[in-house]
Each structure stands twice: as C-alpha cells, then as structure tokens.
C-alpha cells in the first residue's frame, strides 16, 4: 500500500499514467492547495482529521493537520465495488439482488486500510474528525442501507443520515467522530454539495458546477439557491485503456469533427482513432450533459463561472468540449477546472467547521431538483444535441 506524503505539490513526472481518473497523486490533480500552510477561514483546533471522497470509480483520502490546515498525506485507490458494475445503476441492482453486504464490506475494508495507512505514516493514534463526501448510492452502500427506493420511481432515499457517526460504525478498529455530507437528491449526492462548498469562497455569485464522471451531475448556484440535475453520462469520457485517458478523448474527437472525419450525425469515416461504437457512446454522453445544461437554461452569459470538477473536468479542454457540442461556446471563457472538488469540500468542513457547516445548511435548505428524464423538453433537446458541432 502506497501513501503519498505531502509538503506541497508533487510534480508531474515521467511515470504519469495519463489518466487522472485512476491517479490523484500529482500536482495536476491535487485540489487542496488553498489549505496548504493554513487557509483563510481556518478555524484552528488541535489534532488531525481525514477528508474522504468516495467516487463511483475511485476513492481519495487526505490526512490533515487541523491546527495548521496542512495536508500531510494522501492515499487513493480504485473503488473495489467496480466488480459489481461500473455505475450507480448497476450497483443498485447488485445491492437489491443480494450483494449489499459484499458491496459494503468491499468499500469499508479498503477505506479502513487506507485510513490506518495514513495514520501510521505520521504515527497518529486517533482522528479528531473525519468528513466523508460521496454520492447518494455510495453513501447507502457505505452504511449498508437498502437501495430499494433508489431503483424505483420516484427514486427517493428512504433513509436519513445521522449528524455524527463514530468511525467504529464504519471501520473496524477505528474510533472518533465522522460526518457524511448529506445528499441533495437521489442522484445528486453529498459529493456535489461538498463541491459547491469548495468553490463558494472563490466569490462567484452565480455559477455552474459540473462533475462529468460516470454520473454526470450539474448544480446551478444562484446567490444561495441551488438547482440540481443529473445525467446518465456513463464511462464514455473516461477514456479507460486509451493512451492519454480522459485528457485525450475530447481533444481527439474535436479534431475529427473539425477535419470532417466525424460528421454532424456522428458518422465516422476513419476508424484509426475511434470505432463507430465509441463515437456513438460519446455522442449519447455529450448530448445527455448538454441537455442538462439547456434544461437549466444556461448558455454562459448569465454566469460568473463554470467549474468543472473531477478527473475528467481536470483533463478537459473547454475549446474541445465546445467544438463537439458538449458545452455552449459562450461558456468557454468561464471554465475553470477545480480538480476533486468533493475532497476539497470535505476538507473545508474539517478546517472551517463553523463557516462551512453554515454554508452547507443553506444549500440543503434551498435546493431544487429537476428530474431530467421527466422534463417536457428532454426528448426534443436530447435529439437536437446529438449533433456534433459548436453551438
């Protein structure tokens, strides 16, 4: 087990895997720079804490000094639940089919080992606080909650989170308070709530936060009110197994569109870069995300910023995203990659617990969800944005 100890940023090296989705160890992906050496708003207290982001694809843990705000070490791994399916829908089905204990055991064991490795790396015996951010399904699986209600209409969680857990309820042999960031809806989870918390101090009054992972999640923040929706983006943007991974998929696709080797309908005339099946997957994924943006009524001019979260957002070039029609062209100047914003929000709750908790309460009390599939214009917009090209 490898633990990465931080005294700042780890530089990009020749050993780069070219896929931020399965890494989390280099400067391009690190997201806690605003906390290094103590951040503005730090509410110093003695001891150590852990921030955890449980993603559908991977999990990242960070050990923090609560007095200085410094990130001491990090650890990341591929989510072992992938053996039961690549996305939340497949894991809901697996859990409801009898695999819930195995799904829970897989992630709790891996996270427990990661926490112990981080603590051992610094000779720490106890964590004074732990904050976990994850999507709604990952939270259910972590706690062993039934996923039955998440798999049937109206797709609402049937369980409520406690304000504080003890680590012993989650991980064998560990003790101390633990908080799980509350979900905003069935398919827009605490990871997005944490992501909003992470970018709020940047000062934008009206912004879009987009996490374009396996579950495409969109959150429009407007002066304290939040409107959220989610799309079935699937794994198309990840570029798993492709040289350059996520950082090359949209660039390569955009180049083919510009050269006319992929026409507006998605017909591919040269399979040297992609297969026709891969193009169709990308076409469906980008149309789903763009439809969500359109349903939120956004083109770019009405926003102060567009924050792209996660490994895909970190790797994505806004110009390429616009050239294939994933983003409106008006958003390009506003795009900012913010890395693993979910982990950053969890860290903010650790380091500024009073201020961040107040912000979180404001979010959860002022959230509106749009069910994209049930929206009256969904089919029309989805078909319209299947076309490749800048709009």
CA dihedral 193, 194, 198, 199 (to 10 degrees): -20
Q: Tokens in use for 305?
A: 């910023």
Cα–Cα distance for residue pair 151/141, rounded to 1 Å: 13
Are residue 169 and residue 215 in the same domain, yes or no? no
**35-82 pLDDT, tens per residue?**
333 456 899 999 999 999 999 888 999 999 999 999 999 998 889 999
**Strand 129-134 relative to strand 206-211: parallel, antiparallel, unpaired?**
unpaired
Are residue 188 and residue 211 in the same domain, yes or no? no
Is residue 20 very low, low, confident or very high in pLDDT (cuts 50, 70, 90)? very low
Cα–Cα distance for residue pair 81/68, rounded to 1 Å: 35
Q: What CATH number is attached to the domain comprising 97?
A: 3.30.420.480
Is residue 87 very low, low, confident or very high in pLDDT (cuts 50, 70, 90)? confident
Q: Tokens in use for 380?
A: 């029309």
**233-292 pLDDT, tens per residue?**
777 787 655 666 667 888 999 999 999 999 999 999 988 889 999 999 999 999 999 999
pLDDT of residue 244: 60
Q: What DSSP line would sit under 119-146, residue for residue? A: HHHTT----SEEEEEE-HHHHHHHHT--
Are residue 52 and residue 170 in the same domain, yes or no? yes
Section 198-215 average pLDDT: 90
Q: What CATH number is attached to the domain comprising 222?
A: 3.30.420
Q: Is 259 helix (H, G, I), strand (E, B) or coil?
A: coil
**226-248 pLDDT, tens per residue?**
999 998 777 778 765 566 666 78
Neighbour count for residue 56 (Cβ, 10 Å): 23
Residue 303 CB-density burial (10 A; 0-12 exposed, 13-18 middle, 19+ buried): buried
On whether residue 259 sits in a domain, the answer given is: yes
**306-344 pLDDT, tens per residue?**
999 887 887 889 999 999 999 999 999 999 998 889 999
Are residue 259 and residue 335 in the same domain, yes or no? yes
Are residue 179 and residue 210 in the same domain, yes or no? no
Are residue 60 and residue 89 in the same domain, yes or no? yes
pLDDT of residue 364: 93
Are residue 144 and residue 89 in the same domain, yes or no? yes
pLDDT of residue 82: 93
pLDDT of residue 19: 46
Which residues touch 246 (CB under 8 Å, ≥6 apart)? 19, 20, 21, 237, 238, 239, 311, 312, 315, 316
Task: Give the range of the structural domain holding residue 135, as residue numbers without chain letter.
Answer: 4-193
Counting the structural domains of the chain, the total is 2
On whether residue 358 sits in a domain, the answer given is: no
Q: Which residue has the higher pLDDT, 106 or 187?
A: 106
**145-195 pLDDT, tens per residue?**
999 999 888 888 989 999 999 999 999 999 999 999 999 988 889 999 999
């Amino acid at each position: 087990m490898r633990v990465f100890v931080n005294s700042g940023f780890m530089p990009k090296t020749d050993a780069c895997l070219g896929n931020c989705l399965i890494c989390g160890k280099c400067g391009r992906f690190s997201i806690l720079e605003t906390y290094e050496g103590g951040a503005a708003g730090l509410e110093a207290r003695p001891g150590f804490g852990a921030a955890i982001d449980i993603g559908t694809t991977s999990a990242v843990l960070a050990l923090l000094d609560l007095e200085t705000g410094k990130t001491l070490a990090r650890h990341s791994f591929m989510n072992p639940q992938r053996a039961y399916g690549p996305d939340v829908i497949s894991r809901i089905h697996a859990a409801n089919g009898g695999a819930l204990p195995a799904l829970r055991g897989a992630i709790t064991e891996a996270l427990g080992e990661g926490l112990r490795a981080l603590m051992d790396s610094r000779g720490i015996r106890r964590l004074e606080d732990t904050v976990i951010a994850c999507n709604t399904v990952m939270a259910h699986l972590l706690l062993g909650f039934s996923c039955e209600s998440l798999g049937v209409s109206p797709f609402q969680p049937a369980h409520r989170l406690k304000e504080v857990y003890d680590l012993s309820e989650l991980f064998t042999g560990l003790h101390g308070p633990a908080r799980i960031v509350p979900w905003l809806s069935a398919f827009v989870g605490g990871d997005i709530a944490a992501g909003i918390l992470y970018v709020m101090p940047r000062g934008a009054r009206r912004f879009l936060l987009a996490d374009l992972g396996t579950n495409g999640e969109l959150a429009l923040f407007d002066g304290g009110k939040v409107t959220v929706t989610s799309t079935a983006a699937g794994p198309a943007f990840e570029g798993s197994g492709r040289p350059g991974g996520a950082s090359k998929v949209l660039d390569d696709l955009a180049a083919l569109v510009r050269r006319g080797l992929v026409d507006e309908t998605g017909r591919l005339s040269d399979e040297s870069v992609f297969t026709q099946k891969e193009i169709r997957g990308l076409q469906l994924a980008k149309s789903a995300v763009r439809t969500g943006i359109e349903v939120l009524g956004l083109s770019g001019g009405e926003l102060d910023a567009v924050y792209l979260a996660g490994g895909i957002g970190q790797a994505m070039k806004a110009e390429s995203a616009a050239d294939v029609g994933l983003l409106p062209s008006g958003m390009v100047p506003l795009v900012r990659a913010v890395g693993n914003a979910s982990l950053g929000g969890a860290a903010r709750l650790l380091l500024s617990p009073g201020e961040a908790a107040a912000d979180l309460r404001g979010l959860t009390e002022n959230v509106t969800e749009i069910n994209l599939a049930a929206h009256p214009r969904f089919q029309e917009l989805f078909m319209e944005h299947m076309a490749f090209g800048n709009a």
